[in-house]
């Protein structure tokens, strides 16, 4: 009996996977000094040492950022896979969310959510392979925007896409709502909002005074939040990046 118990315990341990997830609104690479500097963004991201990075406010071949595919540039600089999930066309290209991953990306998909002040919005999902057992994890880059009523509708839409998924799901990004707000309270009905250790404020990056960026796990999933921190980066964007260590069972 003891041998069978030890074998089962070993199997349970081997079935868990630790994943390091980051989120960062990069403001199309424009720093507090008003300079667009993707190598600087890449340096910040490299220091996060994350397995998967959810990015917001990312340009794809727009005029304002010189026609550059920003995800492709960052992916090449970091040695990650990358994908862009546009909200809408913008200045000859597209504007939206993105994800970079050093884990294999199995699928990716852009999901439309209700607009903000008439401007189309979407969230971007990638399904990642965690290990050789076939275990997968969906990571969703989220940017909510607009009035509280608009963001409430967006939160409902995001939840409707993922609440019944069979595999584990993580939301990461800029929710433009503070803890205790109606939008965060709505999300907390179906999602566990990771509590940060130490400083919690994420915006504005040079003198942060509010917490609006989060990592969330679905309450129905067996995911342990090991730690969650804000990185004290004051210059590269108008937001500070987040890193969360998660254990997926």
As a whole number of angstroms, the distance between CA 154 and CA 146 comes to 10
DSSP class per residue in 3-68: HHHHHHHHHHHHH-EEEEEEEEE-GGGB-TTS-B-HHHHHHHHHHHT-SEEEEEEEEES-GGGTT-
Angstrom distances, CA of residue 135 to CA of 2, 82, 127, 179: 28, 20, 10, 32
Q: What is the pLDDT along the chain (249 residues), one digit of tens a residue?
A: 434 323 333 344 456 799 999 999 999 999 999 999 999 999 999 999 999 999 999 999 999 999 999 999 999 999 999 999 999 999 999 999 999 999 999 999 999 999 999 999 999 999 999 976 678 999 999 999 999 999 999 999 999 999 999 899 999 999 999 999 999 999 999 999 999 999 999 999 999 999 999 999 999 999 999 999 999 999 999 999 999 999 998
pLDDT of residue 132: 67
Closest to 155 (Cα-Cα) out of 170, 167, 142, 168: 142
pLDDT of residue 15: 62
C-alpha 47/C-alpha 26 separation (Å) is 15
Q: Which residue has the tokens 């910040």?
A: 44
Among residues 173, 169, 179, which one has the least CA distance to residue 144?
173
The whole-number pLDDT of residue 89 equals 96
pLDDT at residue 16, as a whole number:
78
**What global pTM score does this model have?**
0.93
- Give CA–CA dist 241/177, Å, rounded: 16
């Amino acid at each position: 009996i003891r041998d069978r118990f030890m074998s089962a315990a070993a199997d349970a341990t081997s079935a868990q996977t630790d994943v390091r997830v980051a989120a960062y609104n990069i403001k199309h690479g424009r720093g507090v000094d008003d300079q667009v500097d993707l190598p600087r963004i890449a340096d910040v991201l490299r220091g996060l040492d994350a397995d998967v990075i959810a990015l917001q406010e990312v340009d794809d071949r727009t005029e304002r950022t010189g026609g550059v595919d920003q995800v492709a540039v960052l992916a090449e600089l970091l040695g990650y896979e990358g994908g862009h999930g546009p909200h809408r066309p913008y200045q000859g290209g597209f504007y939206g969310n993105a994800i970079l991953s050093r884990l294999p990306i199995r699928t990716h998909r852009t999901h439309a959510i209700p607009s903000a002040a008439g401007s189309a919005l979407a969230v971007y999902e990638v399904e990642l392979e965690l290990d050789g057992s076939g275990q997968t994890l969906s990571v969703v880059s989220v940017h909510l925007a607009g009035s509280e009523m608009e963001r409430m509708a967006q939160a409902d839409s995001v939840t409707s896409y993922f609440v019944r998924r069979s595999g584990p799901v993580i939301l990461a990004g800029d929710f433009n709502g503070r803890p205790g707000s109606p939008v965060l309270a709505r999300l907390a009905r179906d999602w566990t909002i990771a509590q940060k250790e130490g400083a919690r404020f994420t915006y504005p990056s040079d003198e942060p005074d509010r917490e609006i960026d989060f990592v969330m796990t679905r309450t129905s999933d067996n995911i342990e939040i090991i730690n969650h921190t804000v990185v004290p980066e004051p210059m590269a964007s108008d937001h500070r990046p987040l890193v969360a260590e998660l254990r997926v069972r």
